[in-house]
């Protein structure tokens, strides 16, 4: 049998989506690990998050997901329990869950799970078909594997961060999207599902080494090819796709807000020039590198003459590839976002809806962040524990009671 049959969702669950029936144990971590688990849970996977007593320690007082409550968006869609992993009974409980799971996701430094007695060897012994997903910054091996770091450390070393420089300078800082979420979490999800499918086919599990270093390098595969062809040789900000051409960059408008111009193809540039009254300007038609500065300056002056929303309205419905740059408060209000239901509001917190979308088995946010942030020992009933066993673990201090 190449694949397992698709199981029906349990009658008591609120989960829905194409991953219904997939079971995942998540070890609570920061940033990319909970985001990867959120994606899986949003798409229907039965994920249980294992936290430590008192909650995961905050890296900074301002960045404490355990205290974020309704704003802990990446904790949504799955319950969590707090387990004393320093006790043998706590480790035994987690191994019991792992024995029933298809995958384990952990985001600790190399060796941390081994020190807890939950490394790949005992986990794969408990469940030989397990996908053991390890997400780190540097990877499981190499001279930097044991070093601390965060998103920008990893993307800086991979080469990815250098691609976002402008005017000869690298960025001062970037939100942890390209590294943690793109190069880390998304590759962990891909690796998890690939290893699970392979385990279903051959009955053997394996370790998935998903590093942000590797993933963020993979993200610029196309740019690597362009560089080999001589199409990405200028300093950052001077190339075809990073702001070096007048038809592919941002422009500041009269109100200080910005638009994106991305009319790369000749047919799209024709629409751009027509709507701006530039079809008779020979320098815009020449395609010569020496005309780029003139064309850019001309467009800067034009877009600076009117507010952003004027230009958004002028190009709305066209192939001119001119769109507004919206901030986080504005994005949910765009017509496209509203039409697609791109955002949902739960407990007054606006957050992205599950993605991607499935025609027959759509995902859903099964549990809001506030509820997901409170320990739910009763969730262990869905993993085969009886109420008496749960009560006994609470009484013995192995398992934290519900808040």
- Residue-wise pLDDT for 271-289, tens only, equals 999 999 999 999 998 888 8
User: Residues 85, 94: contact at Cβ < 8 Å?
Assistant: yes
Q: Which pLDDT does position 1 carry in this prediction? A: 31
Q: What are phi and psi of 19, to 5 degrees?
A: -95, 10
- Tokens 């049998």 belong to 1
Q: Which of 150, 209, 291, 382 is catalytic?
A: 150
Confidence of residue 55 (pLDDT cuts 50, 70, 90): confident
Q: What are phi and psi of 313, to 5 degrees?
A: -70, -40
**What is the separation of C-alpha 383 from the centre of its chain, rounded to a whole number of angstroms?**
27
- DSSP-H helix ranges across 111-211: 112-115, 120-126, 151-158, 187-202
Residues 218-277 have pLDDT tens digits of 999 999 999 999 999 998 999 999 999 999 999 999 999 999 999 999 999 999 999 999
Residue 256 sits in the same domain as residue 354: no
pLDDT of residue 134 exceeding 90, the answer is yes
Percent of the chain, pLDDT > 70?
Answer: 97
What CA–CA distances, in Å, run from 137 to 33, 219, 324? 11, 15, 34
Confidence of residue 58 (pLDDT cuts 50, 70, 90): confident
* Cα 97 to Cα 107: distance, rounded to the nearest angstrom: 18
Q: Which pLDDT does position 210 carry in this prediction? A: 98
Average pLDDT, the chain: 94
Residue at a domain's end among 333, 365, 381: 333
Q: Which pLDDT does position 167 carry in this prediction? A: 82
Dihedral angle of Cα 130, 131, 132, 136, to the nearest 10 degrees: -170
Residues 185-197 have pLDDT tens digits of 999 999 999 999 9
Residue 302 sits in the same domain as residue 361: no
* Cα 327 to Cα 251: distance, rounded to the nearest angstrom: 15
Residue 295 sits in the same domain as residue 354: no
Residue 110 sits in the same domain as residue 208: yes
Q: Which pLDDT does position 13 carry in this prediction? A: 52
Domain that holds residue 304: 248-333
Domain presence at residue 401? no
Pairing state of beta strands 103-106 and 80-82? Answer: unpaired
Domain presence at residue 11? no
Residues belonging to the chain: 403
Confidence of residue 30 (pLDDT cuts 50, 70, 90): confident
User: Residues 380, 81: contact at Cβ < 8 Å?
Assistant: yes
User: Where is average pLDDT lowest: 15-19, 89-93, 119-123, 211-215?
Assistant: 15-19
CATH code of the domain covering residue 270: 3.30.1540.10
* Cα 48 to Cα 46: distance, rounded to the nearest angstrom: 7
Domain presence at residue 12? no
Residue 265 sits in the same domain as residue 304: yes
Residues 147-186 have pLDDT tens digits of 999 999 999 999 999 999 888 889 999 999 999 999 999 9
**What is the separation of C-alpha 100 from the centre of its chain, rounded to a whole number of angstroms?**
26
Percent of the chain, pLDDT > 90?
Answer: 86
CB burial of residue 76 (10 Å; 0-12, 13-18, 19+): buried
Domain presence at residue 191? yes
User: Residues 400, 377: contact at Cβ < 8 Å?
Assistant: yes
Q: Which pLDDT does position 278 carry in this prediction? A: 96
Q: Which pLDDT does position 11 carry in this prediction? A: 41
In the chain, helix, strand, coil percent, each to 5?
A: 40, 15, 45
Q: Which of 51, 102, 180, 214 is catalytic?
A: 180
Domain presence at residue 229? no
Domain presence at residue 13? no
Domain presence at residue 377? yes
Of 248, 245, 269, the closest CA to residue 260 belongs to 248
pLDDT of residue 6 exceeding 50, the answer is no
Model pTM above 0.75 = yes
Domain presence at residue 342? no
Catalytic residue check, 150: yes
The DSSP annotation for 311-365 comes to: HHHHHTTSSS-EEE---TTTGGGSHHHHHHT-EEEETTEEEEPPSS--SSS----
Residue 48 sits in the same domain as residue 152: yes
CATH code of the domain covering residue 360: 3.40.50.10540
Residue 252 sits in the same domain as residue 353: no
pLDDT of residue 323 exceeding 80, the answer is yes
Residue 180 sits in the same domain as residue 107: yes
Residue 212 sits in the same domain as residue 298: no
* Cα 275 to Cα 273: distance, rounded to the nearest angstrom: 6
Q: Which pLDDT does position 204 carry in this prediction? A: 97
Catalytic residue check, 180: yes
Structure tokens at 45: 């996977």
Residue 88 sits in the same domain as residue 194: yes
Of 212, 202, 311, the closest CA to residue 254 belongs to 311
Residue 354 sits in the same domain as residue 312: no
pLDDT of residue 62 exceeding 70, the answer is yes
What CA–CA distances, in Å, run from 307 to 35, 255, 333, 372? 36, 5, 18, 42
* Cα 25 to Cα 23: distance, rounded to the nearest angstrom: 7
Confidence of residue 10 (pLDDT cuts 50, 70, 90): very low
Of 129, 147, 127, the closest CA to residue 137 belongs to 147
Residue 27 sits in the same domain as residue 123: yes
Instruction: Please give the tally of structural domains in the chain.
Output: 2
């Amino acid at each position: 049998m190449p694949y397992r049959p698709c199981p029906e969702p349990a009658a008591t669950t609120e989960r829905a989506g194409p991953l219904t029936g997939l079971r995942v144990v998540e070890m609570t971590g920061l940033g990319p690990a909970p985001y990867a688990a959120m994606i899986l849970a949003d798409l229907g996977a039965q994920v249980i998050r294992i936290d430590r007593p008192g909650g995961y320690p905050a890296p900074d007082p301002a960045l404490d997901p355990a205290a974020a409550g309704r704003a802990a968006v990446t904790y949504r869609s799955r319950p969590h329990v707090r387990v004393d992993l320093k006790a043998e009974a706590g480790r035994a409980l987690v191994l019991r869950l792992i024995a029933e799971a298809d995958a384990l996701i952990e985001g600790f430094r190399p060796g941390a799970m081994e020190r807890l007695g939950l490394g790949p060897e005992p986990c794969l012994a408990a469940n030989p078909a397990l996908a053991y997903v390890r997400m780190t910054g540097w990877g499981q091996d190499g001279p930097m594997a044991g070093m601390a770091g965060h998103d920008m450390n990893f993307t800086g070393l991979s080469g990815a961060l250098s691609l976002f420089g402008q005017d000869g300078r690298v960025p001062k800082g970037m939100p942890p999207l390209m590294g943690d979420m793109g190069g880390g979490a998304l590759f962990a999800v891909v690796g998890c599902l690939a290893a699970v499918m392979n385990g279903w086919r051959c009955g053997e599990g394996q370790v998935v080494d998903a590093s942000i270093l590797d993933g963020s390098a993979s993200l610029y595969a196309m740019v690597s090819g362009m560089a080999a062809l001589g199409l990405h040789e200028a300093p950052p900000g001077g190339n075809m796709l990073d702001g070096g051409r007048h038809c592919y960059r941002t422009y500041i408008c009269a109100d200080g807000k910005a638009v994106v111009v991305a009319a790369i193809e000749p047919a799209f540039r024709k629409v751009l020039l027509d709507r701006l009254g530039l079809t008779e300007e020979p320098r815009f038609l020449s395609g010569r590198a020496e005309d780029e500065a003139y064309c850019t300056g001309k467009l800067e002056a034009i877009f600076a003459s009117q507010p952003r929303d004027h230009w958004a309205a002028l190009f709305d419905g066209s192939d001119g590839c001119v769109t507004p740059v919206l901030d986080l408060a504005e994005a949910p209000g765009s017509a496209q976002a509203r039409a697609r239901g791109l955002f949902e509001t739960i407990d007054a917190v606006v957050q992205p809806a599950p993605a991607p979308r499935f025609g027959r088995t759509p995902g859903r946010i099964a549990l809001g962040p506030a509820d997901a942030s409170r320990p739910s020992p009763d969730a262990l009933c869905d993993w085969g524990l009886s109420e008496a066993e749960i009560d006994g673990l609470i009484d013995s201090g192995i398992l934290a009671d519900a808040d």
